[in-house]
Amino acid sequence: MYEVEIKVPADTDAVRERLREAGAERVDARRQRDAYYDAPHRDFAETDEALRVRRESPISGGIGEEPAEASATNSTAETTKLTYKGPLLDEESKTRVEHETAVDDGEAMAGVLSGLGFEPAAVVEKRREFWSFAGFTVTLDAVDGVGEFVEIEREVDEEDAIDATRDEALAALDRLGLDGDSQVRTPYLGLLLAGDEETD
């Protein structure tokens, strides 16, 4: 599975209005706490990989002020997922191989990773709204200590579908008044750590 993704800095309030005007559907709103891990056998910063345990729970108002509408996808329970992200596959998007699975017990998963020598590296916290637009998931993100961004993404099964999907994503961003040339390929973890280094 390949995750074709483009991320740009943006005013999420303005993009939300454009999504509404375009007839996009708001799907969900969640708070996410992502704990990233360093591996004992290689340097993920050098290999451009990531291992993450994500805990998320629904929030009532998204990152804006309006209350979220009830939906079948909303749940009151916190969920936990383990995700591996491979290195970037091209220089024009954030496309990666991604493997993700649900985890029944986040604390137990952290214990498994610790027992295997994986050490916590950093935690990224964000509030996200998910919208369905033009066959893509558009996410409005407010990331603690980093800022506001818009991500557009779609999963594809075949590597030869990446280029066409990326071009469609850029066209969809353009329809929302966003410039794909301003994309940020650095993950939120990297942006957070870079910001921490600047303030030290």
pLDDT, residue 167, reads 96
Report whether pLDDT(131) > 90: yes
Question: What are 166-198's pLDDT values in tens digits?
Answer: 999 999 999 999 999 999 999 999 999 888 665
Sign of the dihedral defined by the CA atoms of residues 165, 73, 126, 99, in that order: negative
Domains of the chain (ranges; CATH) run 2-199 (2.40.320.10)
Q: Which residue shows structure tokens 């007839």?
A: 23
Looking at residue 60, what is its pLDDT?
77
Confidence of residue 90 (pLDDT cuts 50, 70, 90): confident
Residue with tokens 């969809």: 172
pLDDT of residue 126: 97
Please state, rounded to an integer, the average pLDDT across all residues of the chain.
Answer: 90
State residue 199's pLDDT score. Answer: 47
Tokens of 171: 């066209």
pLDDT at 67: 42
Dump pLDDT digits (tens) for 92-124. Answer: 888 999 999 999 999 999 999 999 999 999 999
Dihedral of CA 181/187/188/191: which sign? Answer: negative
Q: Report the b/e string of 148-174 with b at 16+ CB within 10 A.
A: bbbbbbbebeeeeebeebbebbbebbe
Amino acid at residue number 15 = V
Instruction: Please choose, from the candidates 89, 57, 93, 91, the residue with its C-alpha nearest in 3D space to the C-alpha of residue 75.
Output: 57
Percent of the chain with pLDDT over 70: 90
Q: What is the pLDDT of residue 198?
A: 58
Rounded Cα–Cα distance for residues 127 and 50 (Å) = 20
Mean pLDDT of 134-152: 97
pLDDT tens-digit series, residues 51-63 = 999 999 998 765 6
Residue, of 89 and 77, whose pLDDT is higher? 89
Q: Residue 200: pLDDT above 90?
A: no
Q: Which residue has the tokens 């939906």?
A: 71
- The pLDDT of residue 61: 63
